[in-house]
Amino acid sequence: MRASLLLLSCILFFHRKLCGVISLSDPTSSPPRGWNSYDSFSWIVDEQAFLDNAVFLAKNLYQHGYEYVVVDFLWYRKNVDGASEDSYGFDYIDQWGRPFPDPDRWPSSRGGKGFAEVARKVHEMGLKFGIHVMRGINKQAVDSGTPILDVLKNSTYVEGNRTWTAKDIGITWRTCAWMQHGFMSVNTDIAAGRAFLRSLYQQYAEWGVDFVKLDCVFGEDLDTKEIIAVSELLRELDRPVLFSLSPGTSVTPSMAGPISSYVDMYRITADDWDKWTDVASHFDISRDFAAANLIGTKGLHGKSWPDLDMLPLGWITDPGVREGPHRKSNLTLDEQKTQVTLWSMAKSPLMFGGDLRNIDRTTLSLITNPTLLDINSFSANNKEFPFIFATRDIKSRYRPLNNRLTSQNLMVKPDKKVLGFTSCESVKAKGWFTKKDERDLNHICWRSDSTSQNPPYCLHNRIPNLTQDQLIIHKEEHVRLFQLVTKQTPDTCVATSISRKRTALEKERTTSSICTTHAAQMWGLNNNGTLVNSYSGLCATMISEKDNTIEGVRSWIATGRRGEVYMSFFNLNPQTTVISARTSDIAKLPAVIISLLLHFAATTTASGPCKFPAIFNFGDSNSDTGGLSAAFGPVPPPNGETFFVKPAGRYSDGRLMIDFMANTLGIPYLSAYLDSMGSNFSQGANFATAGSTIRRPNTTWFQTGYSPFSLDVQTWQFSQLISRSQSFQDQGLLKDKFPKEEDLSQALYTFDIGQNDLTAAYFSNMTSEEVKAVVPNIIDEFTTAIKNVYGKGGRFFWIHNTGPVGCLAYVLDRLTLRAPEVDRVGCGSPFNEVARFFNTKLNETVNQLRKDLPLAVFTYVDVYSLKYELISHASKHGFELPLVSCCGHGGKYNFNIHHMCGSKITVNGTEVVIGKSCKNPSKRIVWDGIHYTEAANKWVFDRIVGGKFSFPPTPLRMACKKTVN
């Protein structure tokens, strides 16, 4: 069975500096992520389908770093009968020969707007907009002789008293080899050619394009001059537009090296589709680029990234068809995990290709796996690890593994040589020479190995019928050009490219077609024995024709941003294989000093207490230190009277549990993120607001009292704080007001939320069974939030379960109970039973998170049991009237929803406070019918701080330590 396994197998003794948050001025500090329409829609995607996918990405993937939505090719082609990938005469072009969106598929483009309206909507979602473009100029424009726009003068381009047109700049014998009826190269050696490209890319920028994917200029279709010309034009723009190259058929590190600094990402394979053979074919090429140190090297806008192509997962279409998404990916789940793991370990850009409107939960979980995304964004020293052992006999897993495999171990088949190609810099390209046969005809031959008994492989060379313009151009290339034919097919010429896109697995071999004057059929023999192709710049060689089946085992290794070491094992065999590696071999890697963890559960390397530099808190009013009051008005007195002597943003007479936690850890009371006055976030921030829910509310605060700052919004605010803090740090501003970059992975992340989700459901007239039915969805949202924080560097999580809501006055006063539904204390049994159900599911989720996020430490804290114990045995613990509010007005519980704590009424023109505090809050448990008094908060905190009510039993000061199970 084919599968991949990612393990945290070791941890560094010496941690490197954190990689940090992506800088706003460096959009390519990590590999870009997003969605591309090609795998699901081929070329027929329309505006509505595109925007629907963008909406899903904005809501569900943006928080995981997916920010680009890209329209793939032929957005300018009419979707009518007769139109196809290489049809002619179906494209919309403007008066200057530039492609324009098909108005039937992109109705907002009408009136000359182009993609401006689509880009605006994408930007409003917080995303970035990208388009696919082809090499050079459209053949329709060349055939029509459209004028060229001089954008510097906003008029027709004129030079040397001559008005230039598309016919003057299109190189007709350099059409895209697999779209010969569509596009051709532009002559960038002349000013008119560069003027056309400037008008083209300036228009894209004016539309609001943030990402261009330039096709048919790389790999077999290499056009270095156009790549550099476009790169220079993009550099002129007043904002970054990312530059991507595609496809990467036959790309080698030596070809990519000189190009990488001009682009942001570049494909290094042909098109990848949902075949296992396509996925497996990426192991060699990714290994080679890692070995050449080309991962994350200098690029156009920061760094450049070798691109392994889109992820063809979920609901997709077929290559080359005029049909939208209609089938599921053919890859098995193990094969999909293998693909996403390799892409992440190799730090490839992650562009999802499936239709997001129909994505399934499994696929969504896979592409948002926090550990893989963390590796993809922040790891370093990524490379294939060759020293691994394997056996296919699973029964012998405890015996010595004596079959030592390296990354080169594949299934070996009988070898046969065929004509292929490689980089001209490779020694494998040298070995061609001229020879005359018995009829005095010229041949180009390959020098055979000295041990070979076979005669040299030879091709007949013939002089092509070039036009005068072609002769001029080729003369400048200083090489005598000829065509190559075989004895078997004298009317067909050898070429480096084919009339369609290759898939990733297809061999890098030459093809043949009817002889023309296309540059793909033009060859030249250099003095060093290399046979170079005029179109691609690649050189011919003799390659092994082996079976395409790739088998064996592979492994990759990488260093995380906190110094941890990741290893991934890949089984490419069709049967189960046991794979292992020796610690001593891992230790041989440069700059890696490691300590092997004998179990997947980690133990700490130090015995002392944790030194948390900061706390970041997420929650509701149980831990709100001023968020809601900053947003909607101050908390009135007598809130805060016991400790702060005045209102302090807290819904209590004094301190909350989060305050006692901060004090215990030596951290100042947390500033509310929403409070702009006098806040200091250098040692953490509080994102909690009173009334917050885990799920996003569908009502306003003014209607129901539930906060608009739900948990997902709080995690977005956390991301914003990190991003802006890094920006200020980069500028040397306010360094003492914001958290340090290195503190993020060492901070404590606390969560106390969920109570309002349950009460909101009850207040909307749901039954207990109906409330239980929505709990799984609530927990799913909670899981997403945790993973988002983890993805931003969070590693130490302290999670409170929810309290006995059935004992709070605001529930008992508003909801009707029958006598059997009231327990001996006076609490509502059905409400507490649902709270316990929620807590059970929460605990199960935390257990699963421990498995999903092996680098994190989770402490689950049972505050429910303590709060219920305090309420049910109040007098035993020194308290009184456990269900009655200390601060409020009227009724059985001293609670009135219309006259709450601190409320006033007007009597004879004078304001009178009726929501008054009781005489001795220190003897009371419930403060205002919803929240707890400082005394009750302190009582609960004193019992959780030591770890007795935590799972695993973990004192607060030790919450950075993992416990061996």
Using omega within 30 degrees of 0 as the cis cutoff, is the peptide bond preceding 820 cis?
Answer: no
3-state secondary structure 777-790: HHHHHHHHHHHHHH
| Cβ neighbour number for residue 130 with a 10 Å cutoff | 28
Nearest to 848 by CA among 901, 892, 787, 908: 787
Distance CA 496, CA 807 (A): 77
Element (H, E) at 174: strand 170-175
Query: Which residues neighbour 402 within 8 Å (Cβ) at sequence distance 6 or greater?
Result: 389
Distance CA 458, CA 592 (A): 50
Are 86 and 178 a contacting pair, CB within 8 Å?
Answer: yes
For every residue of 845-914, DSSP letters joined together read HHHHHHHH-TT-EEEEE-HHHHHHHHHHTTGGGT---TTS-SSB-STTTT--TTS-TT-EEEETTEEEE-
For every residue of 535-595, DSSP letters joined together read TT--EEEEEE---S---SEEEEEEE-TTSEEEEEEEE-SSS--EEE--HHHHHTSTT--EE
Task: Write out the catalytic residue numbers.
Answer: 621, 928, 931
For every residue of 624-636, DSSP letters joined together read -SSHHHHHH-PPP
């592979």: which residue's tokens?
554
Query: Which residues neighbour 833 within 8 Å (Cβ) at sequence distance 6 or greater?
Result: 768, 806
The sign one gets for the Cα dihedral 408, 413, 418, 420 is negative
The sign one gets for the Cα dihedral 190, 191, 195, 201 is positive
Strand partners, 622: none
What is the identity of the amino acid at 716? W
What is the identity of the amino acid at 875? S
For every residue of 723-747, DSSP letters joined together read HHHHHHHHHT--TTTS--GGGTTTS
Q: How far is CA 614 from CA 283, 298, 610, 663, 844, in A?
A: 41, 34, 11, 12, 27
Q: How many residues does the chain have?
A: 965
Q: How far is CA 687 from CA 59, 737, 960, in A?
A: 20, 16, 21
Q: Are strands 149-150 and 155-156 parallel, antiparallel or unpaired?
A: antiparallel
